[in-house]
Amino acid sequence: MSEIKKIWNKGAAVYDEQVRNFLPYHRSHEVIVDLLTTTKMMRILDLGSGTGIVSEKILKAIPTVSITCIDFSARMIDESKRRLAQFESRVDFVCADFAEWNVKQNYDAIVTCNALIYMGVNVGKSYSKFADCLAPGGLFLNSTIVKYEADLPKFMEKLFYSGSQSKESADFAQGPGKRISSHCGEDSLLAPLSIQEHIDSMTNAGLKSICVWQYLLQTIIMGVKT
């Protein structure tokens, strides 16, 4: 995980530009907000919060919630603090590896987007650890790229990664960022699971789980604490 942390510390400033054209990624955030607004959610944990894109959408849509953002990249936390400055009274920031973090409270919902896809992340243990800190009736919403058995079709690469980029962003994408791209092959540091593997892992963690949404490779797996 240390290599992944180094990569994201280098790429934090261009992260938003990197994902700008990744339509399924952004659509999944809209679905997460929809799912949260149908319930009485007050305390939310954003695992691997990155630059705060998901948290910003939630905070804007649901004025009663407070969010804890956790990310292992100090540069990502800095970016999210800038993005979420207007919500200062409703958001806390933790710079830590969530696998090692000592959770001190319960949450009504846990959201995460493409944070459980890296080599070295034990997805099953992550589900179990954070299922334990969900309040009864709480939701675990994981928006994640899932395993794709064949090569990524060229038209999908064009769809996701087309568009103009700054020199800094392009250099990152062709340099260190290439290893955390979903289509970089054998050198990838990603280890996505299948939909069924996610459902099984959530179920083993004591959550009632289901795939609630999918757009190409981006999928939302939902677990409910009963």
Domain ranges of the chain: 2-225
Single pTM value for the model:
0.92
Question: What are the helix (H) ranges across 120-184?
Answer: 123-131, 154-161, 167-174
Residues 121-152 as b or e (16 or more Cβ within 10 Å = b): bebbebbbebbeebeeebbbbbbbbbeeeeeb
The single-letter DSSP state of residue 153 is P
The predicted-structure confidence for 126-164, as pLDDT tens digits, reads as follows 999 999 999 999 999 999 999 876 655 555 655 555 555
Q: How far is CA 118 from the centre of its chain?
A: 11
Q: Does the structural domain 2-225 have CATH classification 3.65.10.10?
A: no
For the chain, give the percent of residues with pLDDT over 90.
72
Answer for the pair 190, 106: CB distance below 8 angstroms, yes or no.
no
- Say which residues have a Cβ less than 8 Å from residue 145's Cβ, sequence separation at least 6: 114, 117, 182, 190, 192, 217, 218, 219
- How confident is the model at residue 184, as a pLDDT? 56
Give DSSP secondary structure letters for 17-80. HHTTT-HHHHHHHHHHHHHHHTS---EEEEET-TTSHHHHHHHHH-TT-EEEEEES-HHHHHHH
Q: For residue 21, name the pLDDT band (cuts at 50, 70, 90).
A: confident
